Amino acid sequence: MFETGIRQFRMAMAMVSGRRINPQLIQRLVADADATLREFGSPGDDVDQLLDGPFADAETRTHFQTQGIRRTTRRLAAQSPFYAARFEAAGLDPRKPDLDAITAVPPTVKADLVASAGDFLCRDAHPYLSTRTTGTTGKPAEIWLSRYEAELWPAMAALSGLLRDEINHHDCLQINLSSRATAAVQHDIEVCRLVGARSRALGLLPIDQSLDSLLDTAGSGANPPTMLGTYPSYLARLVTAARRRGLGPGDFSLRRIDVGGEVLSQALASAARDTLGVTPNDAFAMTEVLPVSGRTCNQGHLHLDLNMGLVEVLALDGSGPAGPGELGTLVVTPYFPYRDCMPVFRYDTRDVVRCLAGEPLACNLAGSPGVSRILGKAAEVLDTDTALVTPRDIVEVIEQLPSQPWPAQYRARVDHGVLDLTVPAAALAGTTAASLVGRFDERGIGAVVTVDGSGEPLRSVRADLLETTFTTTRPDGEDRPDRSLVGV
């Protein structure tokens, strides 16, 4: 216990002073937490305060954020060619900026990363692992991590996961993420290793293969997965396949499902609960701004981790902060020492949220500020005569249709101030185009609906990134090698 106290003190001092944190120190704290849970079954009191920080007090939060920004700008000015030039152009003194002064620095966007990737690498960092964005919203960006980051982030995630009972040594995590997301997959595998859990990194296999793995029908002798990490669109296809095979909650051993990267509708979340036995956690994470992430509370707000970085919400027109009840995009600055190799500053994720109305929060995460769930990408927000229409507005309506068309397929544009929506004919099974228009009217959105009978996908989703390169499936369901690739 004495050694654990020393390790906790050393971690706290590193976090307060802004020095690099020894990943091995956090790994030993993970082992301490695991031993405590095995012996006592509980991590003890004040865990939420330890993990989430003292952010309920606005003055304390501002002080913490100011210190984090100052140590981050000092390092970027000295080590990052891109930000040294950007700070100078904006007239920012990197030695003692405050939260108002940094608004003079234009937000960084994905196009900057793609065009000038080498200038984002810090001179004193050592690139170790390359990862890429999935490319579903444009040309992928390549992000380099240092070995320090690759060890630190999973260690901190493992510690918080253990203390929140999000993962433990009894668990088995099935990872259905694109293999292109190297950092996310490596992160999940390492978290499992640190807590003594098992992991199955499957990638985006054909749906029935992943479903078989959840059931552990291969007879591997291992227990079936208790946790699943994937995208909402892939989860939608898992749920559909499970229902097609007559499966229900009693057929699975899942206790937790984490999804992110796309809009998770209420209809799909309910269907996953009814079919797989677990309500999915609608999380926020993004390769470019790791390790900053967000969790959804029991009232449906998204709460970002303020320990790791500064989070702003900028108005869609870029005029300044979004006000209460307004739409805006999440702009994230990961703090040093959590981001080391290729950090970003005021990175505009283009993920749209709505600011909350301003009343005091009463949710289970009320100690930190919240926003709405992710509503979609800014480029996909449509300005109609009656409302700004977000992708979530459309997905929520379509995925509630009787046909259960998960994931929602549609094409949308504005025509003469009205939402002009094209949906596949199959989506209207059991209803009509007029009824769908009525559903949008109930949300205050004027719409016209066109039916597409081509059967072709109307939008791209991450579940389309199926990794089927080396196998094909015969009609009898047996896998065989793809002979076209033999000898390649």
Q: Are 276 and 289 in the same domain?
A: no
Condensed to tens digits (0 to 9), the pLDDT of residues 217-252 reads: 655 556 899 999 999 999 999 999 999 999 999 999
Residue range 119-157, pLDDT digits in tens: 999 999 999 998 887 666 567 889 999 999 999 999 999
C-beta separation of 324 from 337 below 8 A? no
Within this chain, do residues 113 and 187 fall inside the same structural domain, yes or no? no
Same-domain status, 137 and 54: yes
For tokens 């999000």, name the residue.
166
> What is the C-alpha separation between 285 and 275, in angstroms, rounded?
26
Question: Positive or negative CA dihedral for 193, 293, 110, 135?
Answer: positive
d(CA 475, CA 83): 56
Q: Domain range for residue 409?
A: 382-456
Give the per-residue pLDDT at 486: 33
Instruction: Give the least confident one: 59-63, 281-285, 364-368, 477-481.
Output: 477-481
Looking at 377, 407, 434, the residue that finishes a domain is 377
User: Which residue, among 252, 317, 302, has the nearest Cα to 278 in the 3D structure?
Assistant: 252
Overall average pLDDT of the 458-481 stretch: 68
419 and 296 in a common domain: no
Cβ partners under 8 Å of residue 88, min gap 6: none
Beta bridge partners of 471: 481
User: Rounded CA gap, 256 and 239, in Å?
Assistant: 15
For residue 477, give the amino acid letter. Answer: G
258 is written with which tokens? 């984490």
Residue 33's pLDDT is 87
Domain contains 5? no
485: left (phi over 0), alpha (psi -120 to 50) or beta: alpha
Say if residues 155 and 26 touch (Cβ distance below 8 Å).
yes
What total number of domains does the chain contain? Answer: 3
Same domain, 238 and 328: no
Q: 360 and 252, same structural domain? A: no
Instruction: Give yes or no: residues 170 and 140 share one domain.
Output: no
| Residue where a domain stops, chosen among 282, 297, 327 | 282
Tell whether 445 and 420 lie within a shared domain.
yes
Asked if residue 256 has pLDDT above 90, the reply is: yes
Give the integer Cα–Cα distance in Å for 189 and 197: 9
Q: Are residues 358 and 394 in the same domain?
A: no
Percent of the chain exceeding pLDDT 90 equals 72
Residues 270 and 365 in one domain: no
- Interacting residues of 395 by C-beta distance below 8 A, sequence separation 6+: 263, 265, 376, 407, 408
Domain co-membership, 262 together with 297 = no
Same domain, 175 and 142: no
Per-residue pLDDT band for 469 (boundaries 50, 70, 90) equals low
With a cut of 50, say whether residue 475 has pLDDT above it.
no
User: In the listed set 345, 377, 409, which residue is the last one of a domain according to the structure?
Assistant: 377
In a domain, 466, yes or no: no
| Mean pLDDT for all residues in the chain | 88
For residue 3, being part of any structural domain is answered with: no
Does residue 486 sit within a domain? Answer: no
For the domain that residue 175 is a member of, what is the CATH number? 3.40.50.12780
* Cα 249 to chain centroid, rounded: 25
Say if 488 falls within a structural domain.
no
222 located within any domain: yes
Task: Kindly state whether residue 159 falls inside one of the protein's structural domains.
Answer: no
pLDDT for 368 equals 84
Which amino acid would we find at residue 320?
A: G
Higher pLDDT, 166 or 58: 166
Residue 320 tokens, joined? 């300044």
Look at residue 128 and give its three-state secondary structure: strand
Residue 487 lies in a domain: no
pTM of the prediction?
Answer: 0.89
Which class for 84: exposed (0-12), middle (13-18), buried (19 or more C-beta within 10 A)? middle
